C-alpha cells in the first residue's frame, strides 16, 4: 500500500479527535463524561468514544503524532491485517479498561497508540522475517520509552489504558504472526 493510502484511516481518526475537541470547547461541555468509566452501564459508551476525547490540546497533540505515524506504518507494511489490528487495539483495549481499570473517567487515544506500538515492536519478534524485524527495531528505538507509561507513576494518567493497549498489541502480534497470508511490505 502506498503512503498516501496508508495515511487515510489514521488521519480520519485524528480528524475526528480534533473535531470532537473543538466541538467540546465550543459548546463548553466536559466530554470526559463520555469516556470509559469502568464497570458502569453509562461508562460503556466510552468503549466507543474515549479515544476521540481529550482533556487538553497537549493531550491531543501527544496522541495525534504517534497515531498518525504508527497507524501509517501499520497500514503501509501490513495492509492485509492492518484493519483487524487497528480494530483490536481500539476496541479490545477499551473493553479491558472498562473491565479492569480503577473507577475514574478514562479518555484519550493513548491505549490505541500503545497497542499499535506494541504490535509493531512484537510482530517482528514473532514473525522473524527481516523486514518485520527492521520495523520492530525502528519502532523500539523511537517508542521504546513507552514501557514506563504502563506503570502507575503519573497522577491523572490512565496507565491502565496504556497497559491494556500494550497487552492487546502484543496479543495481536502473536496471533497475526501465525497467519500465512500476512503481507510484510509494499
Here the CATH number for the domain that contains residue 115 is 1.20.1540.10
The predicted-structure confidence for 143-181, as pLDDT tens digits, reads as follows 999 989 999 988 889 999 999 999 999 999 999 999 865
- Domains: count for the chain: 1
**Gap between the Cα atoms of 29 and 40, Å rounded:** 21
Its pTM stands at 0.95
In a domain, 185, yes or no: no
In a domain, 182, yes or no: no
In a domain, 183, yes or no: no
In a domain, 161, yes or no: yes
- Residue 58: partners with Cβ closer than 8 Å, 6 or more residues away: none
In a domain, 186, yes or no: no
In a domain, 31, yes or no: yes
The predicted-structure confidence for 43-74, as pLDDT tens digits, reads as follows 999 999 999 999 999 999 999 999 999 999 99
In a domain, 139, yes or no: yes
Question: Which range marks the domain in which residue 46 is found?
Answer: 3-177
Amino acid at each position: 500500500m502506498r503512503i498516501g493510502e496508508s495515511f487515510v484511516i489514521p488521519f480520519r481518526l485524528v480528524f475526528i479527535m480534533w473535531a470532537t475537541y473543538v466541538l467540546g470547547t465550543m459548546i463548553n461541555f466536559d466530554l470526559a463524561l463520555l469516556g470509559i468509566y469502568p464497570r458502569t452501564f453509562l461508562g460503556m459508551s466510552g468503549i466507543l468514544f474515549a479515544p476521540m476525547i481529550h482533556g487538553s490540546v497537549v493531550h491531543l497533540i501527544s496522541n495525534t503524532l504517534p497515531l498518525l505515524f504508527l497507524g501509517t506504518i501499520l497500514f503501509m507494511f501490513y495492509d492485509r491485517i492492518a484493519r483487524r489490528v487497528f480494530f483490536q487495539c481500539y476496541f479490545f483495549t477499551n473493553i479491558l479498561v472498562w473491565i479492569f481499570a480503577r473507577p475514574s473517567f478514562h479518555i484519550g487515544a493513548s491505549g490505541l497508540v500503545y497497542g499499535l506500538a506494541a504490535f509493531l515492536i512484537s510482530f517482528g519478534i514473532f514473525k522473524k522475517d527481516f523486514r518485520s524485524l527492521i520495523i520492530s527495531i525502528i519502532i523500539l528505538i523511537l517508542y521504546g520509552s513507552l514501557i514506563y507509561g504502563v506503570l502507575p507513576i503519573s497522577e491523572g494518567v490512565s496507565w491502565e489504558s496504556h497497559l491494556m493497549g500494550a497487552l492487546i498489541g502484543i496479543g495481536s502480534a502473536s496471533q497475526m504472526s501465525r497467519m500465512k497470508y500476512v503481507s510484510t511490505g509494499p
